[in-house]
Structure 1
Amino acid sequence: MSLPPDTITPQLSEAVLAAMNAATEAEVMPRWRALESHEIRTKSSEWDLVTDADEAAERHITAALRELVDVPVVGEEATAQDGSLLDLVDGEGAVWVVDPVDGTRNFVAGSEAFGCMVALIDDGRTVASWITYPAVGREIHAAKGVGTFLDGERLLASAPADPAALRGAVSAKFHDGDRDALLAAAESMGPAQPIRYCAAWDYLDVVTGATDYVAFTRTLPWDHAPGALICQEAGLASARPSGLEYLPGGDVNAGILTAHPSVWERVAATLRTA
């Protein structure tokens, strides 16, 4: 199904945020800085962690979202068990995409840098998204054509303060070329740092001006569908480094670059040299 035009309302947005907050309050925050070793496991690699909090929160959110808009839910943890769920993201009709604990490694380490992310996708394009930051009590959300709202206030991103010294955050972990060359290219434009390994916080940084751009090399939909729309609706450009449109169901290795339109092309061209 394609969504009726009046699906995304302020009431729906409030209900989604309430569902996310209820799940994190019940399943995530009681385990933060209190995880036992048996509550932590690996998925695809030793680097790829999952916890009881991830799985329990995703079940909670999935049930709540189906009550709000009854379409399939593509959750990160459910997809780890059934990879075919990813096919729904670029198919016809609507789906929810959920990352119950974005930045699981940070969560396990006791850091505040984790989030909860939800996106609503219709016919392959993100139409609404929500991110909460449970450890600090913040939220940001957006709807296509409506705008971005941070803690309830409309947010418009600013151009970089110093275009000659751009502050970047760059992911090199999944870069299929020379990682050192990628980082060197970033540093040629100004101070560069690694991503936070929590897309929720990396997108918050760029949309609020803490960084001037963020570049990722792998784009699983639950990591990037929410943040890309939030940045676009705040006036930033968020697209494949090649210049192609970012679609959540596209090639997960095609990368995504987010920056102010005034510098996006320059950043993309510089990073493409690596």
Structure 2
Amino acid sequence: MKIEDVTGILREAAEVAILPRFGALAAGEVVEKTPGELVTVADREAEALISRRLRELVDAPVVGEEATAADPSLPRALVESPAAWVVDPIDGTGNFVAGRPEFAVMAALVRDGETVAAWILRPVSGTAYVAERGSGAWRDGTRLRREPAPADPAALHGDVMTRFLDDAQRARLAGLAPRFASLGRGASCAGVDYPRLVEGERDFVLYHRTLPWDHAPGTLLLNEAGGCALRPDGSPYLPGEQRTGLLAAADPASFERLRTLLA
């Protein structure tokens, strides 16, 4: 299997199932699968296409976001199978439905419980990010390297995902906001947040919910670019673990400073 083979599959899904419906979803093509969680016909068609094609490259279980909604046992493959695919057909479905371009198509390959390859495609711009464990991170063929962030928190720009926090946690983080140059809420799309961090638009992102299709691709991309995405206790992110909390930072030193400040 070649890295570009998977990139091609994601581009095909975008061209066939996603972009023709961007800004043109018909009535009945968007439903709420759980409170606040949207799914569209484009999500389902793209996931079916991607899953079928990925199994032709590596015959392994596919843990897709939409398939898991129908069969919650699927993520067990991430710890029980020697290899498994992870697929998010449209990350940022809410943005997609609203006609905003901040959405992505993502995939990752997991071997022995660890993410070994990752792909993030931004369909509207056509930009593709790829990473392979031990080999680096790339944007459209250009090697990516994240520069260290400033040591002073007052110079840092970050995002905190507060949707799944309780009121006390939200209040505490709001109280920390003045210590940073800016503290936002992210793009509602991990496939946008991680590349922004890698390319220096953000210095850190703090997540609570850490579903594999949201974070397996981005954590590998950031780590291979020289950044640092770990659990707040310093342990690695493993996509098969059912845990909360993930801090993504520009570099290891920033991670250490921020995990104390944001704990």
Instruction: Report the TM-score, using the length of structure 1 for normalisation.
Output: 0.92
What SS is found at the alignment partner of 1:226?
helix
Distance 2:261 2:92 in 1: 28
Give the corresponding residue for 1:224. Answer: 215
- Structure 1 residue corresponding to 2:164, chosen from 160, 174, 183: 174
What SS is found at the alignment partner of 1:36?
coil
Q: Which runs of 5+ in 2 are unaligned?
A: none
Letter in 1 for 2:99: G
Letter in 2 for 1:54: D
Give the corresponding residue for 1:137. Answer: 126
Give the corresponding residue for 1:255. Answer: 245
What SS is found at the alignment partner of 1:248?
coil
Q: Does 1:125 align with 2:77?
A: no
CA displacement at 1:144 relative to structure 2: 0.4
What SS is found at the alignment partner of 2:13?
helix
Distance 2:50 2:242 in 1: 26
Letter in 2 for 1:234: A
Q: Contact 1:186 / 1:270 at 8 angstroms: preserved in 2?
A: no
Which structure 2 residues correspond to residues 180-259 of structure 1 after superposition, within 5 A? 180-252=171-243, 254-259=244-249
Letter in 2 for 1:228: T
Distance 2:206 2:2 in 1: 31
What SS is found at the alignment partner of 2:79?
coil
CA displacement at 1:35 relative to structure 2: 0.5
Q: Does 1:17 align with 2:10?
A: no
What SS is found at the alignment partner of 2:146?
coil
Distance 2:123 2:236 in 1: 31
Q: Contact 2:151 / 2:254 at 8 angstroms: preserved in 1?
A: no
- Change in Cα spacing, 1:262 to 1:186, as seen in structure 2 (3 Å) is farther
Q: CA RMSD in A?
A: 1.3
Which structure 2 residues correspond to residues 18-167 of structure 1 after superposition, within 5 A? 18-45=8-35, 47-161=36-150, 163=152, 164-167=154-157
Distance 2:261 2:52 in 1: 44
Distance 1:90 1:61 in 2: 21
Distance 2:44 2:95 in 1: 16
CA displacement at 1:88 relative to structure 2: 1.1
Distance 2:29 2:81 in 1: 37
CA displacement at 1:103 relative to structure 2: 0.2
Listed one character per residue, the Cα deviations across residues 79-133 of structure 1 (whole Å, up to 9, x for unaligned) are 0000000111122410000000000000000001000000000111000000000
Distance 2:13 2:120 in 1: 13
